[in-house]
C-alpha cells in the first residue's frame, strides 16, 4: 500500500535508514557511515564502549580498543598470535626494509612496523583511507613506528606495477570487498606481478 503513496513510502524508507544509522547492531552503535561505488563503510562502537570497529557491508574489517593507553594493539585477524603476527615473528626484522600491504582496513598491520622500515599500503576505497587516517577512530597509522608509512590510493595491481621490480621484502595481500577477495588480484598475471616486485628472498603472504 505504501508503494502507491510515494510520500509515505519515502518517509517510511527514510525512517528505516535513520534508525539503522542511529541504532546498534551486532557490531555496535554507528559513529560514522559512508556509501560510495565500493559499498557502505561504517565505524561503530561496541555497546560497552570498549571497541571501535570498521565494518564494510556486513563484515568486520578490524577493531581497536579504546581503553588502553599507548599505541593500539592489533586485533581480530591481525592479532599477534594469528597468521599476521606469525609472519612478522618468522621473518627477521633486520631482513625487512620495505613492506607492501594490499588493502588498508583500519591500518592494524602497521602495528608490526619497526623503525627504519618503509611501509606502503595500497587502498582502492577513499572512504577507508579517510577513516584509517583519522586518529579519532583508529590510531594504527598515526602510531606507526616505520620511517615511512604511506597510503597509496588506487587499484593495488596497477599501483604495484609502477613500483620497481624487486622493491619489497614483504608483500601482504589483504584486500577484501565486504567478504570477497577481488578476483583480479588473484589471477596468474597478478601473482607473477607480485613475485617480480619481491626482492631476492622476499615473502609473499596471502
Catalytic positions, written as ranges: 174
Cα 47 from Cα 71, distance rounded (Å)? 23
Side by side, which strands form the sheet with 51-56? 24-25, 28-36, 39-45, 51-56, 59-65
Q: What is the separation of C-alpha 10 from the centre of its chain, rounded to a whole number of angstroms?
A: 34
3-state secondary structure of 42: strand
8 A C-beta contact, residue 171 and residue 102: yes
Say if strands 118-123 and 98-102 run parallel, antiparallel, or are unpaired.
parallel
Contacts of 69 (CB under 8 A, 6+ apart): none
Cα 80 from Cα 72, distance rounded (Å)? 12
Say if strands 59-65 and 168-173 run parallel, antiparallel, or are unpaired.
unpaired
Amino acid at each position: 500500500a505504501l508503494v502507491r503513496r510515494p510520500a509515505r513510502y519515502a518517509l517510511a524508507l527514510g525512517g528505516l535508514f535513520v534508525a539503522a544509522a542511529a541504532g546498534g547492531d551486532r557490531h555496535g552503535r554507528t559513529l560514522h557511515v559512508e556509501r560510495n561505488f565500493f559499498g557502505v563503510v561504517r565505524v561503530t562502537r561496541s555497546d560497552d564502549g570498549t571497541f571501535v570497529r570498521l565494518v564494510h557491508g556486513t563484515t568486520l574489517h578490524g577493531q581497536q580498543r579504546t581503553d588502553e593507553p599507548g599505541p593500539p594493539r592489533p586485533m581480530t585477524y591481525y592479532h599477534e598470535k594469528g597468521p599476521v603476527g606469525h609472519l612478522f615473528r618468522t621473518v627477521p626484522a633486520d631482513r625487512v626494509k620495505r613492506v607492501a600491504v594490499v588493502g588498508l582496513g583500519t591500518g592494524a598491520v602497521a602495528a608490526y612496523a619497526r623503525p627504519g622500515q618503509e611501509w606502503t599500503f595500497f587502498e582502492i576505497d577513499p572512504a577507508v583511507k579517510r577513516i584509517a587516517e583519522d586518529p579519532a577512530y583508529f590510531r594504527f597509522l598515526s602510531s606507526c613506528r616505520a620511517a615511512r608509512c604511506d597510503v597509496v590510493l588506487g587499484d593495488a595491481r596497477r599501483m604495484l606495477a609502477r613500483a620497481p621490480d624487486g622493491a619489497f621484502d614483504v608483500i601482504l595481500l589483504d584486500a577484501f570487498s565486504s567478504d570477497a577477495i577481488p578476483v583480479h588480484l588473484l589471477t596468474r598475471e597478478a601473482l607473477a606481478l607480485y613475485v617480480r616486485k619481491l626482492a631476492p628472498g622476499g615473502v609473499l603472504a596471502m
